[in-house]
Amino acid sequence: MIVLGHQNPDCDSLCSAIGLASLFNKMGKTATPALQGEPNPEALFLLEQSGLPQPEIRTEVAGEEIFIVDYSDWGQGTADMKKATILGIVDHHKLGDITTSTPLECWIWPVGCSATIVYNMYKFNNQVPDAPVAKMMMGAIISDTVNFQGPTTTDIDKVAANELAEIAGVDDIEAFAAAQFEAKSDIASVPAAELILRDQKVFEMAGDKLAIGQLELTSLDTALSKKSDMLAEMGVLQAEKGYHSTIVLLTDINKLDTVAIIISEDEDKVAKALNSTVVDHTFDLPGVVSRKKQIIPFLQAAFEAE
């Protein structure tokens, strides 16, 4: 069995795949975690801290048995995923469009992180994650909840992170989070073409496709200095893929605000749905940090209202 994270893998996609594969192996089910691309710097930091190897990268899964984590949309899987047997889904986003011909196991909870769900699967099955795996899952929860400050954070996430920290031997979660976010924010040498794809997800809304990436940073200065380069790369991507909009969310995890950069067929429609106004391909989203809770529902409503 392959435990497969989504395209443009983030910490949750990586750590939940590792955590769930480890659980299955503890239960006597042979499982291998896999990614659909290279892990980002924050995910690499967690791998280094845990001492675990980087999972294999898989872009073809036809004929395989797979369990998917942190998504439930065909568009976030491999191009041949419909030719695989999907055994189950673990996710904390809105339900996507994946359907199967046979029953499957689903753990879909409205919590801040898929790793929170995976940890509760351990508890449900009377298992305890190994310390390095616990550290990975704790890091994923810190990342997805913005160190428990994000609007998707639940008490279930906080309990899971603290219990995982104890298992992992992490005495100071705040210090760990600070080091993790520093690694996440180191983008000075990262090319614009890579930045616009970081944690990018493609959403279909009333027949239109919107590609929305997100950079969570301790300061936006470096990212904004790369704005013209990012816009150029976004324009190329938009033309190649035929997207309605290509958006990069620059989220300041200290101020808990977001600045969005956009290339779109109708940028005003997008910004209006989020109560903002576009100026020079940019619009402000004060108080916004969560794509799935503070952005996607409002865009979905605006596009489907027509």
Identify whether residues 142 and 253 lie together within a single domain. no
68 contacts 77 by C-beta, under 8 angstroms: yes
Identify whether residues 112 and 82 lie together within a single domain. yes
Q: Using CA atoms, how far apart are residues 189 and 111, in angstroms rounded to an integer?
A: 34
Q: In what order do the strands lie in the sheet with 208-217?
A: 201-205, 208-217, 245-252, 257-264, 282-285
Q: pLDDT, tens digit, for every residue of 35-88?
A: 999 998 899 999 999 999 999 999 999 999 999 999 999 999 999 999 999 999
Find the domain containing 246 and state its range. 192-304
Instruction: Give the pLDDT confidence score for residue 177 in this predicted structure.
Output: 95
Q: Using CA atoms, how far apart are residues 247 and 245, in angstroms rounded to an integer?
A: 6
Identify whether residues 215 and 238 lie together within a single domain. yes
Q: Using CA atoms, how far apart are residues 198 and 14, in angstroms rounded to an integer?
A: 14
| CA contacts within 13 A on the Cβ side of 131 | 7
Q: Using CA atoms, how far apart are residues 130 and 202, in angstroms rounded to an integer?
A: 34
Identify whether residues 108 and 16 lie together within a single domain. yes
Which residue ranges in the chain fall short of pLDDT 70? 306
As given in the structure block, the two tokens for residue 48 are 């280094």
Q: How many CB atoms lie within 10 A of CB 60?
A: 12
Instruction: Give the pLDDT confidence score for residue 306 in this predicted structure.
Output: 65
Q: pLDDT, tens digit, for every residue of 179-204?
A: 999 888 888 888 999 899 988 989 99
Domain boundary among 125, 156, 183: 183
What CATH number is attached to the domain comprising 257?
A: 3.10.310.20
242 dihedral zone (left: phi>0; alpha: psi -120 to 50; beta): left
Sorted by sequence, the CB contacts under 8 Å of residue 218 that are 6+ apart come out as 181, 182, 184, 185, 252, 253, 254
Identify whether residues 147 and 276 lie together within a single domain. no
**Domain count of the fold of the chain:** 2
